[in-house]
Amino acid sequence: MAKPCTKLEKRVFELSQKLPALTEKHELYGNKHGFYNYYDTSYSSICCLECGHKWKADLDKARHDCPECGLKLREISDHKTWMRAQAYLMVIDRIEEFQVLRYLYINKWMRKGQSPRYDHQEVSQVFIRPDGKVTIMGGDRNPFGAHYSPGWKYDSDLSIKKHNNCFYQNKYTEHYSALYPNKKIIPELKRNGFKSSFYNMNPTEMMQGLLKSPMLETLLKRGNKKLFQKGVKYMSSIEDYWDELKITFRKNYVIEDYGIWTDYIDMLRDNNKDTRNPKYVCPDDLSAAHNYWMQKKQKELAIQRSMDKKEQIKRAKEKVGEWKIKYPEIRKAFLDFSIKHDHITIEVITSVEQLEEEATLLEHCAFVNAYYSKEESLLLSARVDGTVIETIEINLRRMEIVQNRGWDNKVTAYGPKIIKLVEKNLPKIRKLHKKQLKLSA
C-alpha cells in the first residue's frame, strides 16, 4: 500500500475518505445496465439465466427472447455449473475542485434455475485537478489472477497508485461497462465544452486533454469530433499542424481525410511552400493535390539519388542508409509473424527496401515521408494471392491500427476484412513487441 507523499497526494487521500459510499442505487443500476442478458443451453432446451425459466427452442439461433421475463438474451460462452460475467460501472462525481471518476467492479454469478447473484467493489477513484493533473486511488491487484479476471483483491483498501490505465479505463475489451446517468461536473470542464458524451474515448484521457489543451477545447466547441478524438489520442498530430488548421477553420474548409491532409502539408513544407496561404492549405481536390506533390517528391528523390556529389543529398542518403541497417534490427522479433486467411496474407515489412518497393507499387507516401523512421509504428503488408494490395500502420504504444492504405492512398474492398484480421492478432503483436523491447535493451 503506497503512502501519499506529496501535498497533492495527501490531499487526495483525505478527500477520498470524505467521498460518500456508493449506494444500493448505484449497484442496482450497474446490475441492470452493465451486463448482457444471458441464456444457457441443454440438449434442445434453453434456460434463461436472468429468471431461471426453461423452454424448448431452435438452438441454431444466436439470440432468443425469454417468454417468461421478456428479456432479449444472448448465449453465454462459459458453460459451467456456475457461470460468471464481470462489468464496471463508472460514476462521475466531484469533491471540492476535483473531478472524480469512480469505478465499481461487479461480478455476476449465474446458475441454471436460479436468479443471478452480484458482488460489488469500488476499485478505483481518479482525481482530476482543473489543470489536468491526475492522481489515482486504486485497489490492489493480483497479477497471477489477471488471466482469468481483472485480479482485484477484495480485502484491499484504496491507496495512492502509479499511473496505469487499468485504473481508469471504462472501455474494457473483455468486459462490458456502464455509465451512471447522474453526473457531477466541475465548472472548468463545462466551460471548456464538455457536455455529456465521451465519443467512445477513455474518459480520463478526454477530460485531462480538455483541461490542459486550448486546442482540444477549440476543436470540441467547433463540433469537429473526429479531430478532437485524434487530438486526445495523439496530441502532436494536432499541435504540429495547428497554424494550418486555423486557416481551414477561417475558410470553413472540410478536411476529407486528415491523414492524407497532414502528409500533404508535410510535403508543402519540404518544398518551402507558404503553408499560411489558403490556396495551398485548402485545396479543392485534396487527393489530386496530395498526389501531385507526392509525385514531385518522388522525382526529387530520384534526382537526389543520381546527384550524390552534393553534400545535402549525401546527408539524406546517409539517413536512409542508417535506417537500412537499423530498421531490420528494431523489427527482428516480428520476422516470423504472419496472418493467413483464405487468399489474404499479412506480414511485417522487414526492410526499408521492401517499404520503398511497396510504396512505389501502391503509389502512396509511406516511403517518401520516412515511415520507416517511426519506431512506434509497425508497418504491415497485406497481399491477396501474392499481390500487394494494402499497407497497414499500427501504433505499438497504443496497440491500435492508425491507417491502412491501398493504391493511391485508397482503402480497397479487402480493407474491412484486413482490419478485422489485424485487430484479432493485436494480442500476439503486443507479445512480440515486448520481446522486441527486450532484444533492443
Cα 436 to Cα 441: distance, rounded to the nearest angstrom: 9
With a cut of 70, say whether residue 420 has pLDDT above it. Answer: yes
Q: Which of 423, 404, 406 is nearest to 362 (CA)?
A: 406
**Which residues, at least 6 apart from 143, have a Cβ–Cβ distance to it below 8 Å?**
151
Type and span of the H or E element at 378:
strand 377-384
- Residue 436 or residue 146, greater confidence: 436
**Residue found under cell 455509465:** 179
Q: Across the chain, how many H-helices and E-strands are there?
A: 15, 16
Map 94-143 to HEC letters: EECCEEEEEEEEEEEEECCCCCCEEEEEEEEEEEECCCCCEEEEECCECH
DSSP conformational letter for 310: S
- Classify strands 176-179 and 83-95 as parallel, antiparallel or unpaired: parallel
Predicted local confidence at residue 302, as pLDDT: 74
The crossing angle, in degrees rounded to 10, of helices 286-306 and 311-330 is: 110
Closest by CA position to 264, among listed 277, 248, 282, 249: 282
pLDDT in tens, 329-365: 999 999 999 999 989 999 999 999 999 899 889 988 8
pLDDT in tens, 218-252: 999 999 999 999 999 899 999 999 999 999 999 99
pLDDT at 142 over 80: no
Pairing status of strand 54-56 against strand 117-128: unpaired
Cell of 63: 439470440
As given in the structure block, the three cell numbers for residue 225 are 469530433
Mean pLDDT of 145-156: 65
How far is CA 239 from its chain centroid?
A: 19
Q: Is the pLDDT of residue 305 over 70?
A: no
Sheet holding 387-395, edge to edge: 338-341, 344-348, 377-384, 387-395, 400-405
**pLDDT > 70: what percent of the chain?**
91
Residue 371: CB atoms within 10 A of its CB come to: 19
Average pLDDT over residues 18-39: 93
Worst-scoring range by mean pLDDT, 51-55, 125-129, 175-179, 294-298? 175-179
Distance CA 137, CA 151 (A): 16
Whose cell is 528523390? That residue is: 301
Averaged pLDDT for residues 89-95: 94
Q: Does pTM surpass 0.85?
A: no
At 313 the pLDDT is 43
